[in-house]
């Protein structure tokens, strides 16, 4: 599990936000890919868990936003590796 503090006030959906925040906070470009993958896995698992419910609208929106941020991180990772080559 991610090293993000369990007492973070921004954690509303702990099933996936710990891994997501760890990816956002990762500074090591070598570890970034691993953190992003862990966040995507946790989010995917949560989406499967809430797929049958109709009362998860706010969480689904938060997940959409998280996926958008993870796409940006992936793009930054690609640019960083290209610049270092």
pLDDT for 75: 85
Quick check: 72 and 39 in contact, CB under 8 A? no
What residue has token string 């997501």? 20
pTM of the predicted model, to two decimals?
Answer: 0.79
Angstrom distance (rounded) from CA 58 to CA 70: 18
39-65 pLDDT, tens digit each: 999 999 999 999 988 899 999 999 999
Cα 18 to Cα 51: distance, rounded to the nearest angstrom = 20
Query: pLDDT by residue (tens digit) across 11-27?
Result: 999 999 999 999 999 99
Residue 81 pLDDT greater than 70, yes or no: no
Among 74, 12, 5, 81, which Cα is nearest to 40's? 74
Pick the more confident residue, 55 or 80. Answer: 55
Higher pLDDT pick, 84 / 75:
75
């Amino acid at each position: 599990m991610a090293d993000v503090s369990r007492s973070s006030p921004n954690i509303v959906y702990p099933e996936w936000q710990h891994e997501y925040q760890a990816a956002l906070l990762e500074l090591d470009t070598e570890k970034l890919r691993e953190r992003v993958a862990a966040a995507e896995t946790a989010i995917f698992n949560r989406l499967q868990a809430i797929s049958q419910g109709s009362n998860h609208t706010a969480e689904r929106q938060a997940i959409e936003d998280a996926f958008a941020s993870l796409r940006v991180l992936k793009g930054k990772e690609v640019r960083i590796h290209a610049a270092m080559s």
